């Protein structure tokens, strides 16, 4: 079996409303979509949703990197994913958000070739995955309204964005907890917005609101600060922007700077390396979450399959496709019902039909 053709597409997907987090707001997601064709007529879908803020990548850099990698993959076996990744890493350093598109498409091909949904052949630990819904930063009162809407839709977990102003952040969490009651899981994400001192003080004050964990309280490169917060916070600390790769995970665990790790395919470079992070963390007794950037249903399906397959991925924040107005996938993908991501019966990722109008014409074709 060999890779016959790689098609690269660029899409712009508008959000339903501007999405605001501590470092700024965005109104759309500019993603690169990949279609890999094999000589056995199996097609794999992949996606990249680069975040300049997190990995320094843009759709343009993703396309540049794919231009170096894709020609070298023609003729290679799509099922030898570990070897294909090694080739990519030897050609281009870093650039995880470019490599992830290929990693996801190869995993889709693996599932379709084995005629099973991907999570089943990767271990099949769970059959569905509980996801939260993220509340973007607004005034505390507006965020309460959004929380109520989410709970009415059936969400059992809310991820609340904070990290702007500690007093207002306290107000946000207080009002949301008082309104949604004790049965809803609340986790928070400061996106590097606090200093270590602010984080420790604020998290101590928030302890009474039963917060599951606090994501990235301090700047990504401040390992000392993160360790300090973890040591003094009554709420478990999760690293997001601080951990991209398996090497980062090992380093932060050794530094005793984390209680939990947020794995994102766009940071790890795909499913293969995302799983390595989960396994390193498992050995250290550190549970993981799977998160997302601005992926459509394709990237979200990849994250959901990985989470279902992997015991140590105990939490999921897989909601970007819900925040996007434009639906790239017409049929298939992982739908949400009562907070649970449900798998379709289809093999591989389960993407059945893509909206050709949104996808448009390929930007590049390699064969
Ligand atoms: Mg985060």
Please indicate, yes or no, whether residues 337 and 362 belong to a single structural domain of this protein.
no
Query: 322: CA distance to ligand 1 center in Å?
Result: 17
Distance (Å, whole) CA 63 – CA 48: 10
Query: 252: CA distance to ligand 1 center in Å?
Result: 16
Q: Indicate the pLDDT class of residue 49, thresholds 50, 70 and 90.
A: very high
Please indicate, yes or no, whether residues 275 and 264 belong to a single structural domain of this protein.
yes
Q: Indicate the pLDDT class of residue 165, thresholds 50, 70 and 90.
A: very high
User: Mean pLDDT, to the nearest integer, of 146-172?
Assistant: 97
Is 189 one of the annotated active-site residues of the chain?
yes
Catalytic: which of 57, 103, 215, 295?
A: 215
Distance (Å, whole) CA 193 – CA 227: 16
Least Cα distance to 278 among 267, 289, 269, 292 occurs for: 289
What tokens does 290 get?
A: 């799977």
DSSP type of residue 137 = P
pLDDT at 92 (0 to 100): 98
Please indicate, yes or no, whether residues 92 and 136 belong to a single structural domain of this protein.
no
Q: Indicate the pLDDT class of residue 311, thresholds 50, 70 and 90.
A: very high
pLDDT at 168 (0 to 100): 96
Catalytic: which of 264, 267, 273, 276?
A: 264
Please indicate, yes or no, whether residues 160 and 107 belong to a single structural domain of this protein.
no
pLDDT at 335 (0 to 100): 96
DSSP type of residue 41 = S
Angle at 273 between CA 272 and CA 274, to 5 degrees: 95
Q: pLDDT tens digits, residue range 209-234?
A: 999 999 999 999 999 999 999 999 99
Q: Indicate the pLDDT class of residue 246, thresholds 50, 70 and 90.
A: very high
CB-count exposure of residue 285 (10 Å: 0-12, 13-18, 19+): exposed
Please indicate, yes or no, whether residues 74 and 153 belong to a single structural domain of this protein.
no
Its pTM surpasses 0.85: yes
Distance (Å, whole) CA 227 – CA 207: 18
Q: Indicate the pLDDT class of residue 322, thresholds 50, 70 and 90.
A: very high
Please indicate, yes or no, whether residues 77 and 161 belong to a single structural domain of this protein.
no
Query: 75: CA distance to ligand 1 center in Å?
Result: 38
pLDDT at 178 (0 to 100): 98
Query: 216: CA distance to ligand 1 center in Å?
Result: 6
DSSP type of residue 104 = H
Please indicate, yes or no, whether residues 46 and 179 belong to a single structural domain of this protein.
no
Q: Indicate the pLDDT class of residue 281, thresholds 50, 70 and 90.
A: very high
Q: Indicate the pLDDT class of residue 32, thresholds 50, 70 and 90.
A: very high
Q: Indicate the pLDDT class of residue 121, thresholds 50, 70 and 90.
A: very high
Q: pLDDT tens digits, residue range 333-358?
A: 999 999 999 999 999 999 999 999 99
Least Cα distance to 240 among 164, 161, 168 occurs for: 161
Catalytic: which of 47, 103, 189, 317?
A: 189
Is 132 one of the annotated active-site residues of the chain?
no
Please indicate, yes or no, whether residues 138 and 217 belong to a single structural domain of this protein.
yes
User: What is the SS3 assignment for 367?
Assistant: coil
pLDDT at 216 (0 to 100): 98
Is 161 one of the annotated active-site residues of the chain?
yes
Range of the domain at 110: 3-115+355-366
Please indicate, yes or no, whether residues 10 and 90 belong to a single structural domain of this protein.
yes
H helix runs in the chain, sequence order:
52-55, 59-73, 81-91, 96-114, 118-121, 140-152, 166-180, 196-206, 223-232, 246-254, 265-268, 271-283, 297-309, 320-323, 356-359
Catalytic: which of 103, 240, 241, 319?
A: 240
**Percentage of the chain lying above the pLDDT 90 cut:** 99
Least Cα distance to 294 among 27, 9, 66 occurs for: 27
pLDDT at 291 (0 to 100): 98
pLDDT at 176 (0 to 100): 98
User: Mean pLDDT, to the nearest integer, of 91-101?
Assistant: 98
CATH of residue 88's domain is 3.30.390.10
Query: 360: CA distance to ligand 1 center in Å?
Result: 31
Is 215 one of the annotated active-site residues of the chain?
yes
Query: 367: CA distance to ligand 1 center in Å?
Result: 37
pLDDT at 48 (0 to 100): 98
Distances (CA, A) of 360 to 33, 35, 296: 10, 12, 15
Please indicate, yes or no, whether residues 128 and 109 belong to a single structural domain of this protein.
no
User: What are the backbone dihedrals phi and psi of residue 127, each rounded to the nearest 5 degrees, phi first?
Assistant: -105, -10
Q: How many domains does the chain have?
A: 2
Whether residue 279 contacts residue 292, with contact meaning beta carbons closer than 8 Å, is answered with no
Please indicate, yes or no, whether residues 97 and 197 belong to a single structural domain of this protein.
no
Please indicate, yes or no, whether residues 101 and 124 belong to a single structural domain of this protein.
no
- Average pLDDT taken over every residue of the chain: 97
CATH of residue 194's domain is 3.20.20.120
């Amino acid at each position: 079996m060999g890779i016959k053709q790689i098609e690269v597409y660029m899409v712009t997907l508008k959000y339903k409303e501007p999405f605001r987090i501590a470092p700024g707001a965005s109104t759309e997601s500019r993603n690169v979509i990949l279609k890999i064709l094999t000589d056995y007529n199996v097609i794999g879908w992949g996606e990249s949703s680069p975040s300049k803020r997190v990995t320094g990548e843009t759709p343009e850099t993703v396309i540049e990197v794919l231009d170096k990698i894709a020609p070298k993959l023609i003729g290679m076996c799509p099922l030898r994913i570990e070897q294909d990744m090694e080739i990519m890493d030897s050609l281009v350093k870093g650039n995880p958000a470019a490599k992830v598109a290929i990693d996801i498409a190869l995993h889709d091909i693996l599932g379709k070739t084995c005629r099973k949904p991907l999570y089943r052949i990767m271990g099949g630990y769970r059959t569905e995955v509980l996801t939260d819904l993220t509340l973007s930063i607004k005034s505390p009162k507006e965020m309460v309204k959004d929380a109520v809407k989410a709970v009415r839709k059936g969400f059992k977990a809310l991820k609340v964005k904070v990290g702007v102003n500690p007093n207002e952040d306290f107000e946000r969490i207080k009002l949301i907890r008082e309104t949604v009651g004790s049965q809803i899981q609340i986790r928070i994400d400061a996106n590097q917005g606090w200093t270590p001192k602010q984080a420790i003080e604020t998290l101590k004050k928030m302890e009474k609101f039963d917060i599951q964990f606090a994501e990235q309280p301090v700047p990504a490169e401040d390992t000392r600060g993160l360790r300090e917060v973890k040591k003094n916070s009554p709420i478990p600390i999760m690293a997001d922007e601080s951990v991209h790769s398996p090497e980062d995970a090992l380093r932060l665990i050794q530094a005793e700077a984390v209680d939990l790790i947020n794995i994102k395919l766009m940071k790890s470079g795909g499913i293969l390396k995302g799983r390595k992070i989960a396994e390193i963390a498992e050995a250290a007794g550190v549970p993981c979450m799977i998160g997302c950037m601005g992926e459509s249903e394709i990237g979200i399906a990849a994250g959901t399959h990985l989470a279902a397959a992997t015991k140590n991925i105990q939490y999921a924040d897989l909601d970007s496709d819900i925040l996007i107005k434009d639906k790239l996938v017409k049929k298939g993908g992982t739908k949400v019902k009562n907070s649970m991501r449900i798998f379709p019966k289809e093999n591989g990722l389960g993407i059945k039909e893509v909206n050709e109008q949104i996808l448009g014409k390929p930007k590049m074709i390699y064969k």
